[in-house]
Copies of this chain bind each other. A is one copy, B any other.
Amino acid sequence: MAFALADFMYHAQLMASSRPGAIGVAVDIVALSLQADRLAVLLVKLKRAPYEGRWGLPGGRIGAGETLEAAAARELLEKTGLRRELMQVRAFSAPDRDPAGRCISVAFLATIAAGDAQLSPTSKYAGVAWFPLAELQRLPYDHEVIVAAAADRLRELTETTAIAATLLPPSFTLGELQRAHEAVLGVQLDARNFRKQVAERGLVVETGEIRRGGRHRPAKVYRVRARKNPAAERGSR
């Protein structure tokens, strides 16, 4: 009986690993932040062959009872100590993307506030560091493509929402917000137009505080406003 069971288990496992359904499912996290007013991505020293020791995106297999979103949040927490809402970017599934075996990966985007970017890596990872996007080295797996897709998504969102504020501390000046937008979009913005639009859209509200520092006029401090309802009427086109 015991033998029969072991035999069954063995075959079941063979079936499982050779069956088309037995494909690894992982998440990769593209955590973006501002470092010296430049967009930077969080990379970790990988521990798994064949890329052990190289810098790559944090990530890993999803757990049995876990959604992809939960797995991504867990991985981010383990590697950085940060809890964040993550946005799905898309799935990457080239059969040869992981030389260690078939594994698809769903990429997630996380925005990290500048103040939180001081890392508290756990013992699990020796190295965790920010790398400016503009001068990114070659990355293992298909991580370069994933980073590019996530950055594109952030750009799209920045053009219509206040997501760039999540790259800043809870309160910030309009100058800081403008520099965040510029870093994400990769363009220079006109201060007057930028302020006008931020005001019109009602994305931020004044806190009443004033921040002074540097040899210049003090700046009003703002925070993001609780999301306005985006349900807008659609007109004719």
Contacts and interface: CB of A to CB of B under 8 A. Distances in A.
Contacts of A65: 95
A158 to B, nearest CB: 10
Interface in A91-105: 91, 93-95, 102-104
Give the top 10 A-B pairs by smallest Cβ distance, nearest first: A12-B15, A16-B16, A68-B93, A190-B236, A20-B64, A21-B24, A67-B93, A12-B12, A23-B25, A22-B22
A193 B236 contact: yes
Interface of A: 8-9, 11-13, 15-25, 61-69, 88, 90-91, 93-95, 102-104, 106, 159, 181, 185, 187-190, 193-194, 197, 234-237
Pick from A12, A21, A66, A94 the residue with the most CB of B within 10 Å.
A21
Contacts of A193: 236-237
Number of this chain's copies in the complex:
2
A5 to B, nearest CB: 11
Pick from A25, A68, A88, A103 the residue with the most CB of B within 10 Å.
A25
B181 A237 contact: yes
Contact of A237 (B13, B197, B234, B237): B197
Contacts of A93: 62, 67-69, 106
B16 A12 contact: yes
A219 B184 CA distance: 46
Nearest to A26: B21
Nearest to A234: B187
Nearest to A64: B20
Contacts of A104: 25, 62, 68
A12 B15 CA distance: 6
